[in-house]
Amino acid sequence: MTEIRLYNSRTRRKETFEPLDPANVRMYVCGPTVYDRAHLGNARPVVTFDVLFRLLRHVYGEGAVTYVRNFTDVDDKINAAAQARRAAGDPRSLEGLIRERTDETIGWYHDDMDALGALRPTREPRATEWIGAMIAMIEGLIAKGHAYAAEGHVLFRVRSYAAYGALSGRSVDDMIAGARVEVAPFKEDPMDFVLWKPSDDELPGWDSPWGRGRPGWHIECSAMAHELLGASFDIHGGGIDLQFPHHENEIAQSCCAHPEGGFARVWMHNEMLQVEGRKMSKSLGNFFTVRDLLDQGWPGEVIRFVMLQTHYRKPMDWTEAKAREAERTLMRWTRAMTSDGLLNKRLNKGHVIQEVIDAISDDLNLPLAITRLHAAFDSAKRDDDALADFRATTDFLGLTDRNILSAARKFADIGDLALDHAKSLLVAAREQAMKSKDFSEVDRIKSVLIDAGVEVRMTRLGVELQSKRDFDPSKLDGLT
Ligand SMILES: [Zn+2]
């Protein structure tokens, strides 16, 4: 069996992955708060943990992996958006407005992440459907002395959990000195964080032993992970920005509520995303959503491929130059895979290339996997069996499995446009050469075409261009 090694943020080293139960490998990843379109940075953990999900399914079997990613559909930003709608005159109830907004946002999220080739997780719990489990967990924490109720709130007593801060390597006193902790009169200690808070009539709320209220964000993940994966499971993932305080708080809640379980064994964090070398922000004007990019005409496969090219533990820079380069590569690959009627025949019988699996198994070393994929393509161009394996591998990576035909069509259009343009140039050059008897321009265009993988036939009847399997339209860019 392929050995998987993963960098564990908790132990700060790469470890051989050994699932608690190989017949049910369990992974939890923190999902989105659903009040708006996902921005490009939100897509990075989705793509990262999608690759890990695919790898685990490949190694342990498709039915042997449970991947849970939640939707946070109770949150102050969601409430604020709904309240703004009401203030603007919308007559519907707050609950109705919130439900409409969260349903719509979940639909967008699915559309956008599907476009990036991400498989749907096994379970996608909505926080509002697990309020009972959250209340039960909070009651257990109070009973054990790890939490206390005060003025309609319930707070987690951070100093009751000695290991608090271990994941991010901080001491409680450092955190108080450095963090913007909310001081409130009902807190025993400024570090204590909210498990439950009261809701007035203008906010969504649920009945609880502490009055009508709503859960804090951190308890949502602890409760849903426990309900769906148990007190101990294999992998917990998310962006590095969630490591503190969100993940520290999840660990504190879960390990105090279920000390026998130990919660997640491996913690994985992806680094952040920048755009053209700068932090993405609305004020810098470089903030965009996944949908913005799709609407600009970037295929989801291209966005995904750009993301795969940077190791998940390194900051990633989105640039248009990278996207163009990724598009050229995918264009070349997809054309090779859809030419000669190969698509429906032998190409379905390939095996995922083991060298690529080996690279990904080493803490998701996708840059190395992609280098190996490029090398594999060089031999695949000449060999149908190798091309079938290549196709199986790009499918595995989520670069082609979803809609290779529509992608090929999209990419083929670009190639066809380039070919049409080249053809008109060649025809014009030939007419000119007939008069001048100087064929140097014809020869130049011909050699560019041949170099780009185009077969050129010139007869008395005209010019015929036929792209070959290794056609690279980007090589025609220089023809003007
Ligand atoms: Zn979480």
Residue 183 pLDDT: 74
Cα–Cα distance, 49 to 53 (Å, whole number):
6
Task: Give me the residue spans of the domains in the chain.
Answer: 5-270, 275-402, 409-476
Residues 274-283: contacts with CB within 8 Å, 24+ apart? Answer: 274/315, 274/316, 274/317, 274/318, 275/40, 275/317, 275/318, 275/319, 276/317, 276/318, 276/319, 276/320, 277/317, 277/319, 280/39, 280/40, 280/41
- Average pLDDT, stretch 452-456? 92
Query: Rounded mean pLDDT of the chain?
Result: 91
CA–centroid distance, residue 221 to ligand 1 (Å): 5
Residue in the block written with tokens 């309020």: 131
In angstroms, the Cα distances linking 388 to 280, 347, 352, 353, 377 are 39, 4, 9, 10, 10
- Average pLDDT, stretch 85-105? 92
CA–centroid distance, residue 452 to ligand 1 (Å): 49
CA–centroid distance, residue 124 to ligand 1 (Å): 13
Q: At what angle do helices 217-229 and 131-143 cross, to 10 degrees?
A: 100
CA–centroid distance, residue 160 to ligand 1 (Å): 21
Would you state the structure tokens that stand for residue 56, as one six-digit string? 């685990």
CA–centroid distance, residue 29 to ligand 1 (Å): 7
Q: Give 238 or 175, the one with higher predicted confidence.
A: 238
pLDDT tens digits, one per residue of 359-371? 999 999 999 999 9
Query: Which residue type occupies 302?
Result: V
Measured CA angle at 393 (ends 389, 398), to 5 deg: 150
Residue in the block written with tokens 């030939």: 430
pLDDT at position 179 over 80: no
What CATH architecture applies to the domain 5-270?
3-Layer(aba) Sandwich (3.40)
The top-scoring range by mean pLDDT among 23-27, 76-80, 286-290 is 23-27
Cα–Cα distance, 222 to 136 (Å, whole number):
12
Nearest to 214 by CA among 30, 74, 71: 74
Would you state the structure tokens that stand for residue 367, as one six-digit string? 């840059």
CATH classification number, 275-402, choose in 1.20.120, 1.10.1740, 3.60.15, 1.10.730? 1.10.730
Dihedral, 391, 392, 394, 400 alpha carbons, nearest 10 = 80
Predicted TM-score of the model (pTM): 0.87
CA–centroid distance, residue 240 to ligand 1 (Å): 12
Separation of first and last alpha carbons in the chain? 54
Residue 416 pLDDT: 78
Nearest to 395 by CA among 58, 154, 109, 2: 58
pLDDT tens digits, one per residue of 310-337? 999 999 999 999 999 998 898 888 878 7
Question: Where does the pLDDT of residue 415 fall: very low under 50, low under 70, confident under 90, or very high at 90 and above?
Answer: confident
